[in-house]
Amino acid sequence: MAKSVVPTQIHALIPTNAGTAVFLGSGEKVFTIYIDQGMAGTISAYLARQETERPLTHDLLLSALTALGARVERVVISDLRNGIFFARIILAAENELMQRKIVELDARTSDGMAIAVLARAPLYVSRAVLDEVEDTSDLLKRLQAAQEPDSPEP
């Protein structure tokens, strides 16, 4: 992947009427990606390091990759086309001859975020995407303020 990338992280997952707003930030700006509530629950569980009785789909994928000698190096939110975000999961693997191989997997952005959180791998956004998205910092601040319980009156 030759595109310039910027580190980003998940700042908040906020439920909406149509799904969940994921607010991601780079230090320069905050931007929003909307995902379904099921994926939001999975990402929230991974962020909280909650244990599950049985492996979830992303747990299974990460276990299979690990068993095959691969590890998640990073996840990149790589493109934005017609309002749809695209992501790439970057894997690194070494074989018994110590030959290193890099593999890029196309992924839904929500799956990429879940894998990044689960694998504790860095999450990036391409410079082109970051330059294109609207800064939603103020919206995040307003939503977080609205969720805070009112302080008791003296």
Q: Could you tell me the residue ranges of all domains in the chain?
A: 5-147
pLDDT at 154 over 60: no
Distances (CA, A) of 19 to 46, 90, 100, 154: 18, 27, 40, 38
pLDDT digits (tens, 9 = 90+) for 5-30: 999 999 999 998 989 999 999 888 99
Q: Which CATH superfamily is domain 5-147 in?
A: Bifunctional nuclease domain (3.10.690.10)
For the full predicted model, state whether its pTM sits above 0.85.
Answer: yes
Q: How many whole angstroms from its chain centre is CA 72?
A: 13
pLDDT in the model for residue 145 = 84
Per-residue pLDDT, 151: 44
Give residue-wise pLDDT tens across range 73-124.
999 999 999 999 999 999 999 877 668 889 999 999 999 999 999 999 999 9
Do 129 and 79 contact (CB within 8 A), yes or no? yes
User: Which two three-digit tokens encode residue 26?
Assistant: 């780079």
Binning pLDDT at 50, 70 and 90, where does residue 43 land? very high
For residue 150, the model assigns a pLDDT of 61
Average pLDDT over residues 45-58: 92
Average pLDDT for 61-65: 94
